[in-house]
Amino acid sequence: MGSLKSPVFILVLHLLEGVLSNSLIQLNNNGYEGIVIAIDHDVPEDEALIQQIKDMVTRASPYLFEATGKRFYFKNVAILIPETWKTKPDYERPKLETFKNADVLVSATSPVGNDQPHTEHVGACGEKGIRIHLTPDFLAGKRLTEYGPQERSFVHEWAHLRWGVFDEYNNEEKFYLSKGRPQAVRCSAAITGENRVRWCQGGSCVDKGSCKRDKVTGLYKEDCVFIPDKQQSEKASIMYDQSIDSVAEFCTEKNHNKEAPNAQNQRCNLRSTWEVIQESEDFKQSTPMTTQPPTPTFSLLQMGQRILCLVLDKSGSMTNDNRLNRMNQASKLFLLQTVEQGSWVGMVTFDSAAYTQSELKQINSAADRDLLTKRLPTVSSGGTSICSGLQAAFTVIKKKYPTDGSEIVLLTDGEDNTISTCFELVKKSGAIIHTVALGPAAAKELEQLSKMTGGLQTYASDQAQNNGLVDAFAALSSGNGAVSQRSIQLESRGVNLQTNQWMNGSVMVDSTVGKDTLFLVTWTTQAPQILLWDPSGTKQGAFVVDTATKMAYFQVPGTAKVGLWKYSLQASSQTLTLTVTSRAASATLPPITVTPIVNGNTGNFPSPVAVYATIRQGTTPILRASVTALIESVNGKTVSLELLDNGAGADATKNDGVYSRFFTAFDTNGRYSIKIWALGGITADRQRTSPQKNTAMYIDGWIENGEIKFNPPRPDTNNVQDKQLCFSRTSSGGSFTASNVPSAPIPDLFPPCQITDLKASIQGQNLVNLTWTAPGDDYDNGTASKYIIRISTSIVDLRDKFNTSVQVNTTSLIPKEANSEETFAFELEDNSFGNGTDIFIAVQAVDKSNLKSEISNIARVSLFIPTEEPPTSEGTAGPPCPDVSINSTIPGIHVLKVMWKWLGELQVTLGLH
């Protein structure tokens, strides 16, 4: 077999630190500062919960410190308290801390059920997670037997969140064959214990003896579990079973079990957790401490009323492309619908100077909202002084409240080379700045204001039919309000109509929304004909028409009817848009929400940008939805990208309600906006979503003083029926900036993405069957040109010496389009491998430019030839077991006689007597 050509350079996905969330965490002299733990609005008031959070973090800090070789500890933590809890003198107002940027969320239910600690993580190995989820019952110590001490589980989850490592156990595949013998999936392999048959009924489990091997596979049968000894000497690993008393370290390169089929090996290229941690920025900027760390400090912050000021550009360039009027249309939607009742709102406009249009006014009625809309600017002129607008906004806010924790929505279309002069003022203000860049020339430094304050950054082009400006303002709901109070965008459509053309469609109002439902229509020249019918076919009217701003809106009285609302709009030679927003129908029924996430605020060509969208109803993931990302460049080019939840390409985990895709279709440098559309789907039981969930290990049981003690089984809800959901959602995904994009024609520098879901099985003694999801020509788009499959009997050699490993003949294997299921079978050469040999397999995809993907996750098969065994009791019914339980009616003096007689009968049955 000839050697391969030298591999081309594999492009590495460029990711910024902390880009998957607006986390405030910073590492300062080995201590983590700015950690935000939020108590969700659904948690009943309980002062003990605050102390339980403090206790957990306080105990976790020295555990983390020792586990990381005296490198890291928890320095300070902010605990966010819901607005509905009683106010206390020691509760302060938050600054940049919000529910949206919280690192830990304490909610009444866990996303994975049974109070199991869980970390949201949508990226690759080594990328930071989004948020840790804990429950009050977990923090109260009600799950100690299932997960061990809270502080140990917290450190387990912290490793997911901060360093992007994965679990070292596998609930779906608890054993694997190594040299023909079954081994428990664990790390390190030195963890001792027994393999036992666990039988569960009625919420309790009992030991049914030693495990039996399947004669075909050689593995233990499904009812077998590995029960670790409670007393161990092994110190690793926290990412396996954090509850074992001796475990106080992460697996290192020396003791890491590379063969175990767990998420850490599959996702991190067989590297140990400590190796991944060593590659993190945290590790690189720290050295071990020589003294013990201080005890963590805590601040108690309570949500309050929303305080916000609009800062709107009215400079001369806003006359271009109808920008001023479009800004007013979007601002009206924000003031009429998006901003929550009870909020305090002010308004400032600016050109070369700033003008206060409205002092802070509390939104208590429709009249308050209308009054603010009347203060929107109608004339544009002058230059652009962004800092003047910000300074005026701070002055407006300070007249009534401190600027700490306040918000500013800043919209501009102009360049301003003095914007950096107010960066320090912004940092000191404690205010959150949301930026809206309008058109191609908005100040390049604008996004810095959002980045430094944790605000949302958005971009809207001059293509009015894309409705980008309205989408940006519709996304500005409160980061602290209860989800039931937030405005939810159901629809956002636009079209350029010719003479007497119609814009027809329908919007689904589902049962989770319907309150405060608003239909908003905008146009560019003259008012269109607007027809709207509710689900019963009744025509709706009473649109409020604003000819000056060129918009009309209809507020549905009460709660909108569930079902399809149909609309028809007719106009000639102009652009129309339709936006529909609503709120939760009930405070007790969580609405379906779509949350877009981008893996970076900067796309550095030729690295792709990963786009994600999570779809949830409360904590329950929504599966099988149709999800599309619309990505628009500063040139006005829009790319439609279907997002998938298939566990391949950009998607880390299958069936977890996170839909993902790589974006590679760059056409220019500059800003790109993202809009997410989602339609339909099903709610699926938590236990049937993907097995790899980044959770603290649920302990099946343990052996203590020679006695096996089982925990109750996790709730079995496999019989729960899928529930079909009909819904529509639209959500702005913010924006990112591309750089280093070459002039057209843009060269092909994107290789196929890595295959991450390769699976292998063996049929008979030598036929290996493979399955995987097809990558594309450019990451997960298009079609690859060919596959290279190689095998080895050494898992490390296959990883490190892939190009010299044995190559499989794949001439008959023609790649399918990206995200299709691939299957391939090949035969092992006769007599080349003996019984008990482990075969490791990996795949590499190659595109038409001969760019090669990273090698896939490594799959394995073990040659297991069943040996002939004499007949045993298996398949033969023995005599029934005598009842010798504690409630037995057999007198104690006769117990031994009964058992002796029973053993005799058993010997006869087995042919041993």
- Six-digit token pair at 152? 């140990």
- In 854-903, DSSP assigns E strands to 859-862
The answer to whether 351 and 384 have CB atoms below 8 angstroms apart is yes
Q: From the candidates 97, 120, 151, 157, which is the catalytic residue?
A: 157
| Residue matched to tokens 């430019």 | 849
Radius of gyration of the chain (CA): 30
Burial class (CB in 10 A: 0-12, 13-18, 19+), 257: buried
The answer to whether 458 and 732 have CB atoms below 8 angstroms apart is yes
Cis peptide before 742 (omega within 30 of 0): no
The reported pLDDT for the residue numbered 836 is 86
Burial class (CB in 10 A: 0-12, 13-18, 19+), 362: middle
- The DSSP code for 616 is E
- Identify which of 434, 472, 436, 437 has the alpha carbon closest to the alpha carbon of residue 453: 434
The reported pLDDT for the residue numbered 7 is 31
Sign of CA dihedral 786, 791, 795, 800: negative
- Identify which of 380, 329, 406, 534 has the alpha carbon closest to the alpha carbon of residue 98: 406
For 398, the 3-state DSSP assignment is helix
Is 249 noted as a catalytic residue in this protein?
no
- One DSSP character per residue, 171-200 reads SS--EEEETTEEEE--SSTT--EEEEEEEE
- The DSSP code for 830 is T
φ/ψ (deg, to 5) at 243: -85, -20
The answer to whether 127 and 280 have CB atoms below 8 angstroms apart is no
Strand pairing report for 638-643 and 707-710: unpaired
Sign of CA dihedral 79, 84, 90, 94: positive
- Six-digit token pair at 202? 């009625």
Residues 6+ apart with CB under 8 A from 897: none
For 97, the 3-state DSSP assignment is coil
φ/ψ (deg, to 5) at 327: -60, -40
d(CA 486, CA 896): 71
The reported pLDDT for the residue numbered 721 is 58
Would you mind telling me the total number of residues written for the chain in this entry? Answer: 913
The answer to whether 627 and 678 have CB atoms below 8 angstroms apart is yes
Q: What is the pTM of this model?
A: 0.90
φ/ψ (deg, to 5) at 487: -75, 135
- Six-digit token pair at 863? 């040659």
d(CA 352, CA 316): 10
CB atoms within 10 A of CB 318: 28
| Per-run averaged pLDDT (10 residues), the chain, 913 residues | 31 32 90 98 95 98 98 98 95 94 93 88 93 97 96 98 97 92 96 96 92 91 94 96 96 97 96 98 97 98 95 97 97 97 97 98 96 97 97 98 96 95 96 96 94 94 96 93 93 94 96 97 96 97 94 96 97 96 95 87 86 92 95 94 96 93 95 96 59 83 94 66 86 94 93 97 90 97 98 97 97 97 92 86 98 97 69 36 35 38 42 40
- Six-digit token pair at 274? 């400590």
d(CA 815, CA 788): 11
The reported pLDDT for the residue numbered 18 is 31
d(CA 293, CA 29): 10
- Identify which of 443, 445, 447, 469 has the alpha carbon closest to the alpha carbon of residue 321: 469
* Alpha-carbon 213 to chain mean position: 38
The reported pLDDT for the residue numbered 830 is 65
The reported pLDDT for the residue numbered 139 is 98
CB atoms within 10 A of CB 342: 14
Ramachandran region, residue 685 (left: φ > 0; alpha: ψ -120 to 50; beta: rest): beta
- The DSSP code for 337 is I
Beta bridge pairs of residue 407:
308, 432
How many secondary structure helices (H) and strands (E) does the chain include?
15, 47
The reported pLDDT for the residue numbered 765 is 78
- Identify which of 482, 531, 561, 527 has the alpha carbon closest to the alpha carbon of residue 306: 482
The reported pLDDT for the residue numbered 685 is 54
